Amino acid sequence: MSDRDISFIFDLDGTLVDSVYQHVAAWHQALQALGIELAVWRIHRRVGMSGGLFTEILLREIGREFTPALVDELQTRHAEAYSGMAKWVRPLPGAILLLEHLTRERIPWAIATSGKLSSAKYSLQTLGVAASTVVITRDNVRRAKPDPDLFVTAASHLGSDIESAVIVGDSVWDMLAARRARGLGVGLLSGGYGQDELERAGAIRVYEDPADLLRHIDEIGGRA
Helix (H) or strand (E) holding 94: none
Using rule CB under 8 A, residue 28 touches its own copies: yes
Using rule CB under 8 A, residue 221 touches its own copies: no
Binding mask 108-127 for its own copies (x = CB under 8 A): --------------------
Of 9, 24, 178, 184, which lies in the binding site for its own copies, with binding defined by CB under 8 A? 24
122: Cβ–Cβ under 8 A, 6 or more apart, which residues?
19, 83, 86, 89
Using the rule CB under 8 A, give the single segment among 40-48, 118-126, 127-135, 136-144 that binds its own copies: 40-48
- Of the pair 125, 195, the CB lying nearest its own copies is at 195
d(CA 172, CA 164) in angstroms, rounded, equals 20
Question: What is the b/e burial string over 137-155, where b = at least 16 CB atoms within 10 angstroms of the residue's CB?
Answer: bbebbeebbbbbbbbbbbb
End-to-end alpha carbon distance in the chain:
19
196: Cβ–Cβ under 8 A, 6 or more apart, which residues?
none
Q: Pick out residues in 66-95 that bind its own copies (CB under 8 A).
A: 88, 90, 92-93
- Of the pair 45, 180, the CB lying nearest its own copies is at 45
> Binding residues for its own copies, per CB under 8 A?
14, 18, 20-21, 24-25, 28-29, 32, 37, 39-41, 44-45, 88, 90, 92-93, 189-197, 209
